[in-house]
Structure 1
Amino acid sequence: MYIEIIPCLQDNYSYLIIDDSNNTACVIDPSESQPIIDFLDNKNIKLKYILNTHHHYDHIGGNKELKKKFRSTVVGFKGDSKRIPEIDILLEDNQIWKAENFEAKIMHVPGHTSGHICFHFFKEKLIFTGDTLFSLGCGRLFEGSYEEMYESLNKIKVLPKETKIYCGHEYTLSNSKFCKKFDSENKDLQKKIEKIEKQRHNGTPTIPSTLKEELECNIFLRAKDVETFSKLRDLKDNF
């Protein structure tokens, strides 16, 4: 299997998980349908599953058209069954979702939204974090509490450090400025900023990151308690 990053809208990423043994794919969070259709048609790949981390339009905007064209199955959290269009399979926290050669553990991570989930493809050591964890950042709290988001991030923090992080947006460079302001002595962060500046200069994605990098550099994952996290989240909202 391999991952294809599909830029969508202004700064979203959708991801195709492609099983090259049978030319089938899942898509994570299709913001819009056309870039995904173009790639799949060009490669003659069949889209079998549409996986949604949460209900925000920039993560589900392509659901209807993709399902119609490819007769795909839409997969999402049971708590968001009324907010995810065309949903077919309702997932629960800690469930193992398995279909053909695709297999992921479902992690309910409320905070950004009440029904947000991550898809942890544990065999491949990949996690799709939507808008919960970004590289060098975390999502805004639209429907959850500071405590919920802090605990959600803690669930991700205990995964294997080599786990690759695929998040919903290309926010890394702007996030780095906030981390640098409040963690200016962090040598690992300084090295990561050099790397991402080169990536953006070359027009390449800063994603995936690794959990190891995020534990070393992401100020929200480095917060020692919920009070510190809450203060950082407030500061970031007004940064």
Structure 2
Amino acid sequence: MWDLAELWLEGAVMAVIQTAGHDTGYWVGDDGLSHDDGSSNWWQLIPFGDGRAVVMGKDHDLPGDLYDDLPQALATGPDWLRDAWEGTPDDRLRSAVLKQAPIGFFSWVDPDSGWHAVPTDDSHDDGSRLVSAPYSGFDCPLFDAYHGVGDLDAAQAHADALLAAARRAALDAELLRPVLHCADPGRTHPFALDAALRTAALAGLTPGTRPPELPTG
């Protein structure tokens, strides 16, 4: 399945850029990491600590909705998942499902039992192929606007440096500024750096913070 630690890292960096003011389609909040590609396709990673997490989403080109199947499916899941669905000690999971429904795929990972998924009508394509780390395929359109404007190799070097710093929980404004400039070279008003750094801290990418503990594959 997915390398959730890498997914969080790369998606959270994109969420930092999003918060700064350049649209990437990634967000980090109390309900985890979310992505929307702008074409009604979305996925969400919700960490629950200790290597436990939920990944869900929807490919709008595929029919079906798992919403009505979730209560029965999760009733047979591990205690932490049942508690999350029932709202004890919090209601992040139920709130996220209600907010995002319809649900095309729903998976969870538990360190004791591995990956599980709510069955779908099409086991070959449930839409979960949407879930991928932004940089892993080298097709991230982050620097589309920089074509013909500047050195794309230098732009990628800035992005690599930012990602490496995030991996060390060392992301800061000095590393973020050149990436933002390359992503949005025609911008005429300031980026929201303070807000972006707050997002980075929430995601565990800045000094003194920690990302959630997530499985690596």
- Pair in the same fold by TM > 0.5: no
What TM-score, normalized by structure 1, do the two folds share?
0.27
What TM-score, normalized by structure 2, do the two folds share?
0.29
**Higher RCO (Cα < 8 Å, 6 or more apart):** 2
Return the structure number with greater helix share: 2
Return the structure number with greater strand share: 1
